[in-house]
Homo-oligomer: A and B are copies of this chain.
Amino acid sequence: MSAPTRIAVDAMGGDYGPQIIVPAVLDSLLKDSQLRILLFGDKQNIEKFLPESTVRCLYERLDIINCMCAVESSDNPIDVIRNKQDSSLCQSIMALSQGDADACVSAGSTGALLMQSMRLIETLPGVKRPAICASVPTYHGNVSLLDLGANLKCDANNFHQFGVLASMKCNLVDGIENPSIKLLNIGEEANKGTKELKAAAELFNEDKNLNYQGFIEGNNLLTDPVDVIICDGFTGNVALKTAEGVARLAMGIGADIVRENLSLRLLSKLFTKSLSEIKSRLSPTQHNGAIFLGLNRIVVKSHGSARKGGFENAIGKANLYAKRNIINLLQPKLAKYSWMR
């Protein structure tokens, strides 16, 4: 029997807090008898959402650690680090860094979570900066898109390191043989884009361990069957949010058309079902949970707007990364890179 996975969960983050996080935690414990959860937050608030009737044995694998405060979405990350070390967000990363947990999940402030992670957890050998990497649903399946906001500006080495890490992640976790990689740019031709991207393309072309396939433009972001797309954190954040917004807008216009059109209104159940199928195929919240790739511990960020199912997905991802032992497997694989030394 394998050792249990211990996940530190911040109960207070996101738009809904314990109301959706506690049920997500209980369902995760129910589905995996090898899982233990350390739940950080306001104990009194958390206990409101713990039903009496739940199978007793679940509670044996749930430790609630009372925290004196919570991080608000309006809090400045620097102030959080300075003044809110006793918050559920900071404490769950602390537990991870001290080896009390194998992974950490939070739906709280990305900036604070990243800053606390970089303060207490080292990067993998040779890696300069971690990147936020999400698995984004596309027409053909999923693409690992990074960086989504940890590094607003990137140099060629950052881009290359993101590609190496994401390629290994896809191989170790998603089981993809020789994952294909593209760089997000404003054109596909080699002379397009910033000098950092052109220099990165050279590093990728020289790296025979990677399956680099050139530049990709925004219009193909969700339709190209590529496995990994690399960009700086500013561009990735804007592109992913734009994609989410347009998908939601298409849904909204669809709903308008149903309302305005009598014959469609009569069929609206059928139409609504089709529209939610579009939504579910395009909505990133269905694939919730982004990893801070490049740290030597597993930190998973849940979307702030995730509900129970979404948060459960994020716990599931942290669990999968831990079970696949991704950190220990990445270390020797990284050793072949010169920036390791």
A239–B237 contact, CB under 8 A?
no
A residues with CB within 8 A of B: 74, 76, 139, 149, 152-153, 184, 186, 189, 191, 193-194, 217-223, 231, 233-235, 237-250, 252-254, 257, 261, 263-264, 267, 270, 274, 277-278, 281-282
**In the assembly, what is the distance between CA of A46 and CA of B315, in Å?**
63
Top 10 closest A-B pairs, CB basis?
A: A218-B241, A219-B245, A218-B242, A250-B250, A246-B246, A186-B237, A219-B241, A218-B238, A257-B274, A242-B242
Q: When the two chains form their complex, are residues A218 and B191 in contact, meaning their CB atoms are under 8 A apart?
A: no
CB atoms of A249 and B218 under 8 A apart? no
Judge whether B246 and A243 touch: CB under 8 Å.
yes
In addition to A242-B243, A250-B282, 5 A-B residue pairs with Cβ atoms within 8 Å of each other are: A152-B194, A218-B239, A219-B242, A243-B245, A250-B250
Q: Is the CB of B237 within 8 A of A218?
A: yes
Q: Are B278 and A238 in contact (CB under 8 A)?
A: no
Q: Closest B residue to A76 by CB, please name it.
A: B191
Given contacts A186-B152, A237-B186, contact A278 B263 (CB under 8 A): no
A153-B194, A246-B247 given; A240·B264 CB < 8 A: no
Instruction: Write out the residue numbers on chain B whose beta carbons fall within 8 Å of the beta carbon of A193.
Output: 152, 234
Assembled-state Cα–Cα distance A223/B245 (Å): 8
Task: Please name all residues of chain B whose beta carbon is closer than 8 Å to the beta carbon of A217 when the two chains form the complex.
Answer: 238, 241
Name the residue of chain B whose CB is nearest to the CB of A281.
Answer: B253
Q: State in angstroms the CA–CA spacing of A245 and B216 once bound together.
A: 12
